[in-house]
Amino acid sequence: MSTSKKLKIQAEQDETFIKEGKKAFEEKDYRKALALFLKALEQSPNDPERLVKVGIAYYKNREYDNAIKYYSQALEHLPKDRDLLYTLGLIHVKAGNKSQALSIYDKLKKIHVEKAEDLYKAIYA
């Protein structure tokens, strides 16, 4: 089999993992979604979108440390993404990491004041 054909098959499998993962997520089957997103991530381990999908699935499974890990990796690729920062801050709040959430608040207020204020409210809610 040629290299281009192998790559095409791999890309199709990849899209299938993402599509099925999204479906499982919509059906609130977060364990299945996580497994599928992790398979998709294996193909592109530095893809911020896939890192976020894995992070969200971990969050929905209440595995906050893993969610933080994958969101942090996504932020390495998109350090000024306000939505990533905000969500990571919220995950820290949920995990009880107030000091880390405040650290993210400090970064976020330099990028998007309104999102930063929303995070601040969540920290002190």
> In the prediction, which pLDDT does 11 show?
64
What is the C-alpha to C-alpha distance for residues 63 and 50, in angstroms, rounded to an integer? Answer: 17
Geometric angle at alpha carbon 46, from 111 and 98, rounded to 5°? 45
3-state class (DSSP) for residue 47: coil
Q: 83-92 burial, b if ≥16 CB within 10 A, otherwise e? A: ebbbbbbbbb
Name the pTM for this structure. Answer: 0.88
Q: What is the pLDDT of residues 14-64, one digit of tens each?
A: 789 999 999 999 999 999 999 999 999 998 999 999 999 999 999 999 999
Of 4, 83, 24, which Cα lies nearest the Cα of 49? 83
